[in-house]
Amino acid sequence: MFSGLSELIGSFPHALAAGLLIGLTCSLLGVFVILQRVVFIGITLSEVAALGIALAMTLHAPPVLGAAVLTLSVVILLALPLEFMRLPRDAILGLIFVVASSLAVLVVAGSGLALHEIKTLLYGDLILTSPTDLAVMVAVLLPVAAVLLIFLRPILYTFLDRKASRVLGIKVLRWELLYFCCLGLAVSAASQAAGALLVFCYLVVPAAAGLLCSRRLGLAMACSALVAILGTLAGLVYSLRADLPANQTIVVAVTILFVLIAATRAVAWLFGRERP
Amino acid sequence: MSTVSLITCRGLQVAYGREMVLRGVDLEVVKGSFLPLVGPNGAGKTTLLMAILGLVKPSAGTVETPFARRPPGYVPQQGVIDPLFPVPASQIVAMGLYPHLGWWKKLGKQDRRAVSGVLAMLGMDGQGSKTFAQLSGGMRQKTLIARALVARPEVLILDEPTAGLDEESQQEIMAHLVAINRQQGCTIVMAHHGESLLADAAPLVCQMEHGRVRLREPSHV
């Protein structure tokens, strides 16, 4: 493992840094994605970001800009009071997901890009992270993680009990919008390198593992980040050794960690050491 | 008892779309009083509480409260907090101190003492570290009452605090509310379904029907 790690640091330092950064930020944000039961927003925003990247590349604009504009537009749309539509938010997310996925494919199909470029664009490849990509990620993801941790208390209270928060003078719309803008920005910055699948994985799987590990929010977030970091390291090292696609290998590694944690919890529960 | 009005509703009307839920409510809640709002489902009890709290906008009429100066304690209906949240009862109670915390919103020693004090007062010694999922229905409701009380509010507003609880828990919670009202002088406005527990608690109840109110003595069931 250690020789593989030093080989990875030597050969793909940017991929390693990008994977750790994306994993860390998305796994922290992902705890609230799960707690709010809006898991579908993860994959929807990833697809919207892919569409934004595709549009930006066809228009010769910076990809992250295209992704950010589209994801933030969707986030703001979802924050609007849509009750008049008498549809659950999941249905609206589903609609946006199918439109974004189809349009992304149609835009790249008409762009004249080569097949491998299209594949990279739609599914991402962490190994191809350039120093510029990494700089963009550092500029976006670190502030996003910092904002989430600094304003954790009002964000938690907003999601925990909206009405009571309003009574206490907490500006729930402001904190909700801040959280979802952070989520949109993180997905935008991560999508080109990580692709929709890995971003979705980072948002859901480590957070689920973290919530299995602890009944304390802070500790659950720390465990979530740890699972993302360990999964990224193991996935990247193994993908390099076995010559496998990096993103998908990381997904498998993170999922294996989740399964191990879930199995440990199940055993503890079976032997009566923990309440369900 | 003082006769200072803390909450005054005049000609209060609230509509959801075309449906008029409150039809000109005139109500005064005097400082130190215990006022249960009773009535059937759909009578407008929760809507009246929401209008008093400023959470729904009146379509006509006015509501005067001291809440801009000092937020009230608010206890929502059961089931508002998702037990999935990995948050201990003490942290839920600490939420009530939010308006009084500094810019970084960190809890100080005094705040922690206030949290454990209010939990102890409600008979929840040693329960503060349990998450909402680990607490019984009665304990969950007491946690929400503790959250509403921790900042020592002038007014406590409760939306059916005993709904869905067994009789013993209902009586226990009602006894706590009566004690809070009589010993601390906290004004209580509470939406409530039945009247069996109210006879000794409040001299008057506010009967709600079809969006209108009428004060009367509680019936001795």
DSSP string over A46-67? HHHHHHHHHHHHHTTS-HHHHH
DSSP B100: G
Name every chain B residue with its beta carbon within 8 A of the beta carbon of A156.
85, 87
Strands of the sheet containing B19-30, edge to edge, are B19-30, B5-16, B60-64
Residue ranges of E strands in A73-150: none
pLDDT score of B194 = 75
* DSSP-derived pairing of the beta strands B155-159 and B34-38: unpaired
- For tokens 């090292």, the residue is A237
pLDDT score of A233 = 96
Name every chain A residue with its beta carbon within 8 A of the beta carbon of B71.
167-169
State the burial class of residue B97 (Cβ atoms within 10 Å of its Cβ: 0-12, 13-18, 19+).
buried
- Range(s) within chain B of domains with CATH label 3.40.50.300: 1-72+154-221
Banded model confidence at residue A115, pLDDT cuts 50, 70, 90: low
Banded model confidence at residue A67, pLDDT cuts 50, 70, 90: very high
E strand or H helix at B28: strand B19-30
Banded model confidence at residue A122, pLDDT cuts 50, 70, 90: low
Interface contacts A/B by beta carbons within 8 Å? 72
Which CATH number, 1.10.150.530, 1.10.3470.10, 3.30.70.920, 3.40.640.10, labels domain A2-270? 1.10.3470.10
Q: Tell me the per-residue pLDDT of A211-223, one tens digit each, with 9 for 90 and over.
A: 999 989 999 999 9
pLDDT score of A134 = 95
CB contact under 8 A, B71 and A214: no
pLDDT score of B2 = 62
- For tokens 């509703």, the residue is B9
State the burial class of residue A44 (Cβ atoms within 10 Å of its Cβ: 0-12, 13-18, 19+).
buried
DSSP B9-25: EEEEEEEETTEEEEEEE
Cβ–Cβ < 8 Å for A55, A119: no
CB contact under 8 A, B84 and A35: yes
**More confident position, A80 or A190:** A190
Banded model confidence at residue A150, pLDDT cuts 50, 70, 90: very high
* Burial readout A203-216 (b: 16 or more C-beta within 10 A, e: otherwise): bbbbbbbbbbbebb
pLDDT score of A86 = 75
CB contact under 8 A, B82 and A156: no
Contacts 24+ apart (CB under 8 A), A102-108: A103/A51, A103/A54, A104/A47, A104/A50, A104/A51, A104/A54, A107/A51, A107/A54, A107/A55, A107/A58, A108/A54, A108/A57, A108/A58
DSSP B131: B
Q: Is B161 on the interface with A (CB under 8 A)?
A: no
**More confident position, B139 or A83:** B139
Whether the per-residue pLDDT at B219 is higher than 80: the answer is no
User: What residues contact residue A96 under an 8 Å CB cut-off, 6+ apart?
Assistant: A44, A47, A48, A74
Q: Is A174 on the interface with B (CB under 8 A)?
A: no
User: What residues contact residue B174 under an 8 Å CB cut-off, 6+ apart?
Assistant: B162, B197, B198, B201
pLDDT score of B202 = 83
* Cα–Cα distance, B65 to B155 (Å, whole number): 10
Q: Which of B55, B44, B19, B56 is nearest to B214 (CA)?
A: B44
Name every chain A residue with its beta carbon within 8 A of the beta carbon of B86.
211, 214-217, 219-220
Note the pTM of the prediction, 2 decimals.
Answer: 0.90
Does domain B1-72+154-221 fall under CATH 3.40.50.150? My reply is: no
Strands of the sheet containing B205-209, edge to edge, are B73-75, B155-159, B187-192, B34-38, B205-209, B212-216
Name every chain B residue with its beta carbon within 8 A of the beta carbon of A153.
98, 105
User: Least CA distance to B80: which residue of chain A?
Assistant: A161
Q: Is B66 on the interface with A (CB under 8 A)?
A: no
Q: Is A86 on the interface with B (CB under 8 A)?
A: no
* Cα–Cα distance, A166 to A172 (Å, whole number): 6
* Cα–Cα distance, A232 to B180 (Å, whole number): 54
pLDDT score of B150 = 94
Q: Which of A1-5, A119-123, B31-35 has the lowest mean pLDDT?
A: A119-123
State the burial class of residue A78 (Cβ atoms within 10 Å of its Cβ: 0-12, 13-18, 19+).
buried
DSSP B192: E
* Cα–Cα distance, B111 to B76 (Å, whole number): 23
